[in-house]
Amino acid sequence: MIALLRWVIWRDMVLAMRRKSEVLTALLFFVIVVSLFPLGVGPEKNTLAIIAPGVLWVAALLASMLSLNRLFADDYHDGTLEQLVISSQPLAVIVFGKIMSHWFLTGLPLVLISPVLGMQLGLDSDSIVILLLTLLIGTPVLSLIGAVGAGLTLGVRGGGVLLSLLILPLYIPVLIFGSGAVESARTGLGVEAHFSILGAFLVAAMLLAPIGAAAALRISLD
């Protein structure tokens, strides 16, 4: 299983590196959206610090959605996905590997660049650390949930819009507790409850989302 997981991750990352513009799209979108807020709201440091948790988390959520419709699409169009589905290997493990590669290419860069953008919006050092940790826990949840929606809308005309409608309601709890943890850290309140709930979301998503996405792919291919 470990060898299969490593092969899927390596394969998807090598293929993605051949389309570097698509890989950079989510990161550039994240940076541009966050950077525009000081221009629209104004340079007042206190105002920017108040809206910073919500702005950063909403931008990260939208950026992670940009490449979801391509999570399975390329393999679907060239017939590779059908071969993976009918192979003797567990489809849920293959799907989990594809989700991990999506997070490495999309979610992890957002996490790494977030401290710089947090400083740009006037967050203090403690809040930036909390922001980094919440994104580190929360962005994999976004990829895991998004994979189920990507599987259900695979091959559907206008699937991008349908995908957004399906997964956005499921993203809201992650958004609330992720941005809430940063806001609590900024105001000096405890963040343990927020991290506990985000951790529960991550564990539940890791257990259920690959199975759900695998089932969704089988439905879409039937």
**Dist CA 97 CA 72 (whole Å):** 12
- How far is C-alpha 44 from the chain's CA centre? 30
User: Residue 150 corresponds to which tokens in the numbers above?
Assistant: 């990507």
69 versus 222: the higher-pLDDT residue is 69
In this prediction, residue 87 carries a pLDDT of 82
> What's the CA gap between 66 and 164, in Å, rounded?
10
Residue 212, pLDDT above cutoff 90:
yes
160 or 44, greater pLDDT: 44
Task: Specify the pLDDT at position 158.
Answer: 67
pLDDT tens sequence across 1-39: 788 888 888 988 888 887 777 778 889 999 999 988 888
Residue 199 has pLDDT above 90, yes or no: yes
Q: Rounded to an integer, what distance in angstroms lies between the CA atom of residue 16 and that of residue 2?
A: 21
pTM above 0.75, yes or no: yes
Q: Kindly report, residue by residue over 52-108, the tens digit of the pLDDT.
A: 999 999 999 999 888 888 888 888 888 888 888 888 888 899 999 999 999 999 999
The runs of H, that is alpha helices, within 66-124 are 73-77, 80-86, 91-102, 108-120
